[in-house]
């Protein structure tokens, strides 16, 4: 199960990279940074939910607890990847990286790790796969 979960998370990363490219090349030039950020966040949440919806039968969590554990693993991988790449490769400061999580300033990126966490339980439950 964990190997499959990791493979699905890699699909999320492909979707996130495509989403980021779309945001920078098309969305932000058309809408501006603030609206572009919101659109891109919503789009990535939809991508994550769609991938999860179609792959959760293959992933086959048998219980709600397994689905929650997968979601926690996905969220942890996502945050480690995001902050690891941001800090060690892109050389962003911690305040720069955390700025995307400031909902009081209109930044809604926090929805991505939340949806990533909820997606396996939510989709498996909606598809009637959990006991």
DSSP three-state, residue 10: helix
pLDDT at 131 over 90: no
Read off the pLDDT of residues 44-91 as tens digits, 9 standing for 90 and up.
999 999 999 999 999 999 999 999 999 999 999 999 999 999 999 999
Q: At CA 24, angle to CA 21 and CA 26, rounded to 5? A: 90
Looking at residue 31, its pLDDT comes to: 97
Looking at residue 1, its pLDDT comes to: 86
Looking at residue 118, its pLDDT comes to: 98
pTM: 0.94
């Amino acid at each position: 199960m964990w190997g499959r979960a990791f493979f699905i998370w890699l699909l999320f990363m492909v979707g996130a990279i495509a989403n980021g490219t779309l945001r920078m090349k098309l969305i932000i030039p058309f809408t501006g940074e603030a609206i572009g950020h919101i659109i891109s966040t919503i789009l990535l949440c939809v991508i994550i939910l769609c991938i999860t919806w179609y792959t959760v039968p293959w992933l086959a969590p048998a219980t709600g607890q397994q689905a929650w554990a997968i979601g926690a693993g996905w969220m942890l991988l996502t945050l480690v990847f995001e902050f690891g790449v941001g800090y060690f490769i892109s050389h962003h400061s911690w305040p720069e990286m955390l700025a995307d999580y400031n909902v009081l300033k209109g930044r809604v990126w926090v929805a991505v790790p939340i949806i990533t966490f909820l997606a396996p339980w939510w989709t498996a439950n909606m598809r009637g796969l959990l006991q």
